[in-house]
Amino acid sequence: MPGKVLLGVCGGIAVYKVVSVASGLRRQGIDVQVVMTEAATRLVAPLTFQTLTGNRVYTDIFTTEQPGGVPHITLAQEADLVVIAPATANVIGKLAAGLGDDLLTTVVLATKAPVVLFPAMNVNMFQNPVVQSNLDRLRSFGFEIVAPASGELACGQVGQGRLPEPEHVTSWIVDRLARRQDLAPLRFLITAGPTREHIDPVRFLSNPSSGRMGYALAAAAHHRGGNVTLVSGPTELPPPAGVKLINVTSARQMRDAVMEHLPESDVVIKAAAVADYRPAQVEAQKIKKSEHGETITLEMVRNPDILAEIGAQKGQRLLVGFAAETRNLMENAAAKLQAKHLDMIVANDVREAGSGFAVATNRVRILTNDGHCQELPLGPKEQVADWILDAVRKVWQSRND
């Protein structure tokens, strides 16, 4: 597994932790090439990284010390993974704008390798809408962003903005290297978000799904070499880079899009929160209070159960459902696993703090149809997505060995 990591180091106070990351990676046999910004060299001497990695440290785009090569192109081409830590607001802004005014930003522009950013800065800077919008923009281009940790910051304030501890960053990078291309050439069909069931042209029934869990799965499957089609209900999220996105509104539209793309899929993951019922009749005009009394009665009819329909004709596909429950989590999840002919179900207690709808984190249990249950800790949805995909890969491999 060991590979080649290009570690971009910027001028944030957390740079001292990155020194340990560089040595931790080297200890695992990973070849670490370090590129430092000018600001970073004011906080830690390049010689420190050079000694710990055993490699020359690059700081200058205009170097004449590399005969026979243009450093930003050579470094960009040789890396299996580019990691920027700490990623400051400045480098995030420059990358989001496509600037290349130093060695690190030109390497990032020139590389074809996945680029991972570990933002670390003051909490107000991190929450600044400009920084958040730059991060969204980078995500939409396929950059991977690892959320900073919360706690006491170097400036004395408390909040989100800390670089995670070096062991955590190191193991994240090691895992990421191990997962590169591990899902190629699988074809994924993933659903995300809520559905909207219209009552009249201006009103609908829906649920709080933000789409984050499904989008995280789609982005992770793509980053790991999968070919991904994402069928999404209405969300505020930017389209994930490299993924074929199909936007739908209602459960019936989602059903049609999923069934159309089912033939070209190996793995189906249904993270969408699909409405089980819809109004029997959609009014053509806005319903007026003046035309009704104090109460109004809606007659509802069943929507198609998309997952059950796929289960009945899944063939060799691996079928993963979700179960969003507020009680009897495991019993209900197990019943859905069986009734819908699933290979795996992700059980999600949506009443638990930090879990379920419209939050950045999730805690799930994965139940497979051989009765095995894996309990996972609370984690960012991006991390949970990788764990779910690890489970998918394991089942797929065991079937095809």
Active-site choice (39, 44, 154, 155): 155
Residue 209 Cα distances to 196, 234, 322, angstroms: 11, 9, 13
* CA dihedral of 252, 254, 258, 261, whole degrees rounded to 10: 110
Give the footprint of ligand PMT on residues 19-78 (CB under 6 A).
none
CA torsion sign for 179, 185, 191, 192 is positive
Q: Can residue 272 be called a binding residue for ligand PMT (CB under 6 A)?
A: yes
Burial (0-12, 13-18, 19+ Cβ within 10 Å), 103: buried
Number of residues lying near ligand PMT (CB under 6 A): 27
Q: Can residue 256 be called a binding residue for ligand PMT (CB under 6 A)?
A: no
Q: Can residue 305 be called a binding residue for ligand PMT (CB under 6 A)?
A: yes
CA angle 210, 212, 213 (to 5 degrees): 120
Look at residue 73 and give its three-state secondary structure: helix
CB of 56 to ligand PMT, least distance (A): 44
How far, rounded to the nearest angstrom, does the alpha carbon of residue 327 sit from its chain's CA centroid? 27
Query: Helix H segments across 150-274?
Result: 166-179, 212-223, 251-261
What are the two backbone dihedrals, phi and then psi, of residue 154, each rounded to the nearest 5 degrees?
-55, -30
Q: Can residue 173 be called a binding residue for ligand PMT (CB under 6 A)?
A: no
**One residue of 162, 270, 314, 363 binding ligand PMT per CB under 6 A:** 270
With beta carbons less than 8 A apart as the criterion, state whether 117 and 92 touch. yes
CB of 312 to ligand PMT, least distance (A): 12
Q: Catalytic: 155?
A: yes
Q: Can residue 336 be called a binding residue for ligand PMT (CB under 6 A)?
A: yes
CB of 37 to ligand PMT, least distance (A): 35
Q: Can residue 318 be called a binding residue for ligand PMT (CB under 6 A)?
A: no
**One residue of 38, 165, 175, 276 binding ligand PMT per CB under 6 A:** 276
Locus of tokens 């501890």: 165
Q: Can residue 352 be called a binding residue for ligand PMT (CB under 6 A)?
A: no
CB of 240 to ligand PMT, least distance (A): 13
Q: Smaller CB distance to ligand PMT: residue 170 or 209?
A: 209
Q: Can residue 138 be called a binding residue for ligand PMT (CB under 6 A)?
A: no
Q: Can residue 209 be called a binding residue for ligand PMT (CB under 6 A)?
A: yes
How far, rounded to the nearest angstrom, does the alpha carbon of residue 126 sit from its chain's CA centroid? 19
Rounded CA gap, 306 and 269, in Å? Answer: 11
Residue 284: count other Cβ atoms within 10 Å of its Cβ.
Answer: 7
CB of 69 to ligand PMT, least distance (A): 45
Give the footprint of ligand PMT on residues 356-375 (CB under 6 A).
356-358
Part of the chain binding ligand PMT (CB under 6 A), chosen from 178-186, 220-228, 350-358, 385-393: 350-358
CB of 10 to ligand PMT, least distance (A): 30
Q: Which H or E run contains 84?
A: strand 81-87
How far, rounded to the nearest angstrom, does the alpha carbon of residue 399 sit from its chain's CA centroid? 26
Q: Active-site residues: which are they?
A: 155
Site residues for ligand PMT per CB under 6 A? 193, 209-213, 251, 270-274, 276, 303, 305-307, 321-324, 336, 348, 350, 356-358
